[in-house]
Structure 1
C-alpha cells in the first residue's frame, strides 16, 4: 500500500509499505479522506517525531470504510463508513508519532472496539466532511471548557477550522450571540455562513468597543466598569494580542478557553486581573469528545462542510501539504483517496 511519510526535515514522500495483516480482533480501514492539520507542517519541518525521526507517517484526521473485519469483532461489517480515534491506536497516535498515518491507503485498528477506536457514520456523509471529526472534537473540547449556558454571549478569536468549529458548537449549545474576530475578510465571511451572529475585523476595528456595541456593558464590579457584557471568550488564534485584549476587557466572572498554541510566552498581570475573577481554561485534544462530536457532525454536516476549503486527490498530496502550510492560502485542506 501507499503511505505518506516524513523522510527528512522539510521532506515528505509517498512510499510503499506492506498492507497490514488482519488478526481475529482487528479491523482494516480503507482510508477515503484525511484532513491536513497545522501540526503536520510542524512535523515535516523538524523531520518527524522521535522515535520515528525521519520516518514519521502523516495524517491524523482520517475517515474511511471497513475493508476487512476479524472473526472475533462484533458490531462492525465490511463496507461500514467510519471515523477513527487517532489517540486510541494500540501502536501510537495515528499520524502523530505512531506507527501508522491516516494519509495511507489502509489503517489497521488492532483489538478494535466500536465506540472506543472507531464509530460508524451514515453513508450520505461525504468522506471529506467525515474527516473533520478529529479537528471538530478539538473545537468541541475547547467549547466544553467554557461550560457554555443557553442565552450567553461569546466571542471567538480566529476563524480557522477550529474557530469555526467552535462557533458551530457554541450555537448548537444555545449560546445566544457569537462574535468572531479575525483579520482575513474571507474567513470572517465564512464565520457568518457557519452561524456567527457578527464579525469583527481587528485590523480595522476596536474589538472592545465593538463588543460593547454588540453585547452591552457589564455591571460595575470592584471598580471594573465599561467592560463588554461578554460571557465567554475563546482563543483559536494564538497571537499575543488576543490574550492582551481578553484580559483587558473581560467582565467579572467571564470564562476564557485557550485552544490555540502560543509559540512565545505572554505576560499576564494577575494583580490587575484579580478582581475580574476570570476563569482561564486551557484546552488540549479531546479527552471525551472524539465521538461526542460525531452526532453533531452528522446532523449538521452541511454546515460543517463549509469549513472545508480545498479537496485534493491523493496523487496531489504534496501540493495539499504545501497549500495547507501556506499562510492565507487555504482554510481546511482534505486529501481524498479512491
Structure 2
C-alpha cells in the first residue's frame, strides 16, 4: 500500500510499504479521514521525528472503519466506525514517530482494547468530523488544566482549530461567557457560528476596553491602579508573543492563563510587575486522559465541530494538502479523506 512519509528535511513522498496484518489480539482499521496538524509541518521541516531514523510516516488525526477484529478482541465488530488514540499504539505514536502513519489505507492496532486504543462512534458521524477527535482532545486538556467551571468568564486568543476546540470545551463545561480574539474576520465569524458569546478583532479594537465592556470591571485591589476586566480565565491558542504580553497587562487579581499553543520565540515576563496580580500561568500539552473524553461532545455537537474544517482534499492530492496546510493564512483545518 502507499503511505505518506517524511524522507528528508522539507521533503515528503508517497512510499510503497507492506500492508499491515492483524492477529488474534489486534484490530485492523481502514482509514477514512485524517487531519493535518501543524506538527506535521514541523516534522517535515526537521526531516523526521525522533527516535525514528530515515523515512517517517505521517498522519496522527485518524478516523476509520474496522475491517478485521481478532478473536481475542472485545468491544469491536467489523464495520464499526472508530476514532483512534494514536498515543496508545504499542509500535510508537501513530504519525508522530511510530512505525505507522494514518495517511495510509490501513492501520493495525496491536493488542487492541476498546476505550484505550479506539472508541466506536455512531455511523452517522462523518469521518472527517470524527478525525477532529485528536486535536479536540488537545483543546479539552487545556480546558481541564484551566479548572474552568460554570459561571466563569473566559477569553480565547486564536480562532484556529485548537482555539475553536477550546471554545467548544469551555461551553461544554458551562462557562458563562466566552470571548474569542483574533485578527482575521472570517475566523471571528466562524467563532460566532460555533458558539462564541462575543468576538474581538485585536487589530482594530482596544482589547482591554472591550473586555471591560463585555465582562465588567474587576474590583480594585492593592497594587493594581488601573481598571481591569473581570475575566476569570485566558487561554492562548495563538502562540504569538503579543498574547501573553497583552494578558499580563490586563489580568485581574487571581486570573489564570493557560497556554496550549507552541511558542517559537521567547516571551519576556516582568514577574515583579505581575506579583500583585497573583496570576496563575498554566502550560498544557497533549491529552493524557482526554482522547475519548471529548468524543461525547463531538458526537452530540458534530455539526458545530464540522465548521472547524476549512479545506478538504482527497488522498490523491495529499501533497497539495500538506502544502496548503503549511502555508500561513492559506487554510485553518485541512482534512484528507481516503476511500
Q: TM-score, normalised by structure 2?
A: 0.98
2-side partners of 1:87 and 1:172: how far apart?
25
TM-superposition CA deviations, 1:168-207 (whole Å, max 9, x none): 1111111111111111111111011110111111111111
2-side partners of 1:80 and 1:230: how far apart?
43
Deviation (angstroms), 1:51:
3.2
Task: Indicate the SS of the match to 2:310.
Answer: strand
Equivalence for 2:38: 38
Is residue 153 of structure 2 the alignment partner of residue 162 of structure 1?
Answer: no
Any conservation in 2 of the 1:28–1:67 contact (CA below 8 Å)? Answer: yes
Q: After the TM superposition, which of the residue ranges 268-277 and 117-126 deviates more from structure 2?
A: 268-277
Equivalence for 1:108: 108
- Give the aligned CA root-mean-square deviation in angstroms: 0.9
Equivalence for 1:250: 251
Equivalence for 1:324: 325
Any conservation in 2 of the 1:211–1:228 contact (CA below 8 Å)? Answer: yes
Deviation (angstroms), 1:247:
0.9
Equivalence for 1:175: 175
Equivalence for 2:64: 64
Is residue 265 of structure 2 the alignment partner of residue 264 of structure 1?
Answer: yes
TM-superposition CA deviations, 1:254-311 (whole Å, max 9, x none): 1111000011111111111111111111000001100000000000000000001111
Alignment coverage as a number of residue pairs? 338
1-side partners of 2:105 and 2:205: how far apart?
47
Q: After the TM superposition, which of the residue ranges 272-281 and 284-293 deviates more from structure 2?
A: 272-281
Q: TM-score, normalised by structure 1?
A: 0.98
Deviation (angstroms), 1:54:
3.6
1-side partners of 2:265 and 2:54: how far apart?
26
Structure 1 gaps of 5+ residues are none
Q: How does 1:123-134 map to 2 (within 5 A)?
A: 123-134=123-134
Any conservation in 2 of the 1:9–1:54 contact (CA below 8 Å)? Answer: no
Any conservation in 2 of the 1:180–1:196 contact (CA below 8 Å)? Answer: yes
2-side partners of 1:21 and 1:107: how far apart?
9
TM-superposition CA deviations, 1:193-239 (whole Å, max 9, x none): 11011111111111111111111100111232400000110000001
Task: Indicate the SS of the match to 2:87.
Answer: helix
Structure 1 runs of 4+ with >3 Å offset: none
2-side partners of 1:84 and 1:263: how far apart?
29
